[in-house]
Homo-oligomer: A and B are copies of this chain.
Amino acid sequence: MINLALFGAGRIGFIHGHNAAKHANANLVALYDPFQPNAEKLAKELGCRQMTPEQIFADNSIDAVLICSATDTHADLIEQAVAAGKHVFCEKPIDLSLQRVRECMSKVSKTDSKTMVAFNRRFDPNFQSLQQQIVSGEVGNVELVNILSKDPSPPPVEYIKVSGGLFRDMTIHDFDMARFLLGEEIESVSAHASCMVDPAIGEAGDFDTAAITLTTSSGKLAQISNSRRASFGYDQRVEVHGSKGMLIAQNVNENTVVSYTESGVNSAKPLHFFLQRYDAAYRAELNSFIDYLMGEQVNIPSMHDGLQALVIAEAALKSVAEQRTVKLSEIH
């Protein structure tokens, strides 16, 4: 059994906490959240103790920590955790500063701790299946990838202000997905972004709509389409065009009922947002982390993957500002 402690009792802490508590090979021993109402409520639900970070790091029975706290605490907690000999599961992003991420990775590398950055979409059963079909050679050499990712509605502007912006907050998942599917490192980025959804987002210095092209050194292309708004719900699709064919992962719908009436043919909408759509992905993600700790051979997104996605986000910002294609090698 793996003993776990959870940092953060917010929305994403709630998900991983529940999955950890139900896991056959794990115990959720403790959680910490400085916001007491959340901490108390979740600890009660999960039947675990509240402990301070110091207590958690000092407790030798705890094997690993799940870091689901505010972004600006991630790097510090990772460093403290590995210093205390714990393994780490950390929500993306590691940090908004590339410099800070690199420092943190350097410290981790000097320990034996296992770490994982939680790019949940890699664990979605549909994208998993699609990626395995790529690996099996079903569509030959991958040449072009299209990633469509739209949220049902924008977060509050207060969140946007501290989020690091569209590219670091939302598109970062798509950057990782592009790397996951292309099977080759990104060489350059060309990004275009607008504020179409809410002027307040523009006033906060961010975008809400984006079209991005990534290239690899062998000439593969990836296109990302983003919007902070999709009236019909969460739009999460992927297309892969290869030398021998094409793979499309469509949205997951609420149900399979189709209604035919005089006014038309109606079917159910896509699952509304990430809690619904990625429910199975979150479970699979935690399973993989536990398997990883138990010595299984599993593919897990590493801190390097977390770093690379952030580098692409930086390049994308530079590309928008300078209206040109930016090479990743320009980003330090």
- Chain A residues within CB distance 8 Å of chain B: 22, 125-126, 129-130, 133, 138-141, 143-144, 146, 148, 150, 188, 190, 192, 194-197, 209-211, 213, 215, 219-223, 225, 227, 229-232, 235, 239, 241, 243-262, 264-270, 323-325
Contact = CB atoms under 8 A, between A and B. Distances in A.
Contact of A231 (B195, B232, B261, B323): B261
A325 B222 CA distance: 17
**Chain A contact surface mostly:** strand
11 contacts: A126-B256, A144-B209, A192-B325, A196-B243, A223-B223, A229-B243, A250-B256, A252-B256, A260-B270, A265-B268, A265-B269
Given A144-B225, A190-B213, A125 B267 contact: no
A264 to B, nearest CB: 5
A258 B250 contact: yes
Nearest to A258: B248
This chain's copy number in the assembly: 4
Contacts of A144: 196, 209, 211, 225, 227
Contact of A257 (B130, B143, B323, B324): B130
B255 A138 contact: no
A239 B253 CA distance: 18
B264 A265 contact: no
Given A192-B221, A219-B195, A267-B267, A247 B241 contact: no
